Amino acid sequence: MTKTDWIFVQQAKKGDSHAFARLYEIYYKDLYHFALYYTKDSITAEDAVSSAVLKAFEQLHKLRKNDAFKSWLFQITANECKKLLKQKSIYLSDASWQEPAAAEDGYLTPEIQDELSQLSEPERRVITLSVFGGYTSREIAGILKKREGSIRSIKSRALAKLREKNADL
């Protein structure tokens, strides 16, 4: 988290809606892509991010450490994704993989979509946050509420699967 982000969080905690709006601008794209990979549906992803941001704004006073804002916001987004998927009776499993809606805007090629569909849900989440989101293992651990070592292990296993599958190319 940058010092500027930290200052925006501090100001937002004091009720500055403009500071919170700036945080929204900073994190929206990453939150949306995270929710999109989680839900596999652009409308559900948008709903999840909207709900998460609103909940974060309402509950910002409960955030103890400003440095944890990003992880906290991603955890709220993950929870909102789960809630929306449950409400829509969509269960994520390897068999129910659908192409991410991001492919509609050229974000993912069909080949990448196919490769990701071969990974387990935890592997897919870690890879998308790492490769497409640019997050470190430590940040992903905070987002997913797992140990950093577990994240590195999941990432290593997923990358090995992808390398093995692409050895022929």
Let me know whether 79 and 56 are in one domain: yes
At 8 the pLDDT is 93
Let me know whether 87 and 136 are in one domain: no
The SS3 assignment for 91 reads coil
How many angstroms separate the CA atoms of 84 and 152, rounded?
28
CATH number at residue 60: 1.10.1740.10
Going from the C-alpha of 104 to that of each of 98, 99, 113, 115, the distances in angstroms are 13, 9, 12, 17
CATH number at residue 144: 1.10.10.10
State how many domains the chain has. Answer: 2
Q: Is 168 a residue whose pLDDT tops 60? A: no
- Burial class from Cβ neighbours inside 10 Å (0-12, 13-18, 19+) for residue 131 reads middle
Let me know whether 106 and 145 are in one domain: yes
* Tokens representing residue 92 in the block: 């994520």
Tokens 């492919």 identify what position? Answer: 103
pLDDT band at 100 (very low <50, low <70, confident <90, very high): very low
Let me know whether 82 and 13 are in one domain: yes
Let me know whether 124 and 43 are in one domain: no
Mean pLDDT is lowest, of 54-63, 86-95, 112-121, for 86-95
pTM of the model: 0.60
Let me know whether 61 and 127 are in one domain: no
> Which of 30, 61, 92 represents a domain boundary (last residue)?
92
The per-residue pLDDT for range 6-43, each reduced to its tens digit, is 999 999 999 899 999 999 999 999 999 889 888 888 89
Let me know whether 40 and 113 are in one domain: no
Let me know whether 81 and 120 are in one domain: no
Mean pLDDT across the chain? 82
Domain housing 119? 101-169
Q: What percent of the chain has pLDDT over 70?
A: 85
